[in-house]
């Protein structure tokens, strides 16, 4: 099973889209093994966006992610990084397909509702920025996993 990091950004929280966003992942049978609402500190924000330090939009990213609470999540499942990115949609809302989170809910590049790790390396780095291992609850089974086990595994 692969793990990835997802954050509902301050605009998604302020607009009351938390349940709608989480529902997208659950409907695809991804398992949410870590979930918390939090304010992102300047230190965490600067570590999160370190690769963009020195770029003209860096401070805008920092200001936005620290402007209000986020919902931080760890999502687990088969091919979770690519699958979650597909559900999230293109970073640029005007290029995001209808049916994706960004295609359905966002209008601006900076305020695009959600962040999802773009690679295995990013996922590992971001997971450790926002969660300690003991905060994760991967030892429960979703209904999909229970049914799959009963049927001898679904491929």
List, for residues 70-128, the tens digit of each pLDDT value: 999 999 999 999 999 999 999 888 899 999 999 999 977 778 999 999 999 999 999 99
Query: Partners of 35 in the beta sheet?
Result: 73
Q: Which CATH topology does 2-150 take?
A: Alpha-Beta Plaits (3.30.70)
Sequence spans of domains, the chain: 2-150
Q: What band does 153 get if pLDDT is binned at 50, 70 and 90?
A: low
In this structure, are strands 31-38 and 2-8 parallel, antiparallel, or unpaired? unpaired
Report the share of the chain in percent with pLDDT over 90: 80
Known catalytic membership, residue 115: yes
HSE-CB at 106 with a 13 A cutoff on CA atoms is: 29
Of 48, 52, 86, 115, the catalytic one is 115
Give this prediction's pTM.
Answer: 0.90
């Amino acid at each position: 099973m692969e793990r990835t990091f997802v954050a509902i950004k301050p605009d998604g929280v302020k607009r009351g889209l938390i349940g709608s966003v989480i529902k997208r992942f659950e409907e695809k049978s991804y398992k949410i093994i870590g979930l918390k609402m939090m304010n992102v500190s300047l230190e965490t924000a600067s570590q999160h966006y370190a690769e963009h330090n020195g770029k003209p939009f860096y401070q805008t990213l920092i200001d936005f992610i620290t402007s209000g609470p986020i919902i931080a999540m760890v999502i687990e499942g088969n091919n979770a990084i690519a699958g979650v990115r597909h559900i999230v949609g293109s970073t640029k809302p005007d290029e995001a397909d209808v049916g994706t989170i960004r295609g359905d809910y966002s209008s601006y590049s900076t305020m695009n509702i959600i962040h999802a790790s773009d690679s295995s390396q990013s996922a590992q780095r971001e997971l450790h920025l926002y969660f300690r291992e003991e905060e994760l609850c991967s030892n429960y089974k979703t209904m999909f996993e229970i049914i799959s086990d009963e049927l001898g595994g679904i491929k």
